[in-house]
């Protein structure tokens, strides 16, 4: 099992963010291809939604992806 966790955050450059984020993209893609986030079990669903919130928070302070279509 692979584990990825954000290091303590300090605002950095977009280049620094992408240098850290790009290696995670295959893992994130596999997650969406292999995992049903909205599982029937409420605890499993909550855990998976929590993971998604952590991924969504990775660019905080560096980039606002909400301005991009699809985010």
What's the 3-state SS for 16-47?
A: HHHHHHHHHHHHHHHHHHHCCCCCCCHHHHHH
Better-scored residue on pLDDT, 10 or 41: 41
Question: Contact at 8 Å (CB) between 9 and 60?
Answer: yes
| CB-neighbour burial class of residue 23 (10 A; exposed 0-12, middle 13-18, buried 19+) | exposed
How far apart are the C-alpha atoms of 48 and 51, rounded to whole Å? Answer: 5
Average pLDDT value for residue range 47-62 = 87
Residue 28 has pLDDT above 90, yes or no: no
For residue 8, the model assigns a pLDDT of 53
Instruction: Give the rounded distance of the alpha carbon of 13 from its chain centre.
Output: 18
């Amino acid at each position: 099992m692979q584990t990825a966790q954000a290091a303590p955050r300090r605002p950095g450059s977009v280049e620094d963010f992408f240098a850290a984020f790009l290696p995670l993209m295959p893992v994130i893609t596999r997650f969406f291809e292999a995992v049903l986030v909205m599982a029937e079990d409420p605890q499993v669903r909550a855990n998976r939604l929590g993971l998604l919130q952590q991924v969504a928070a990775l660019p905080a302070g560096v980039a606002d992806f909400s301005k991009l279509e699809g985010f």
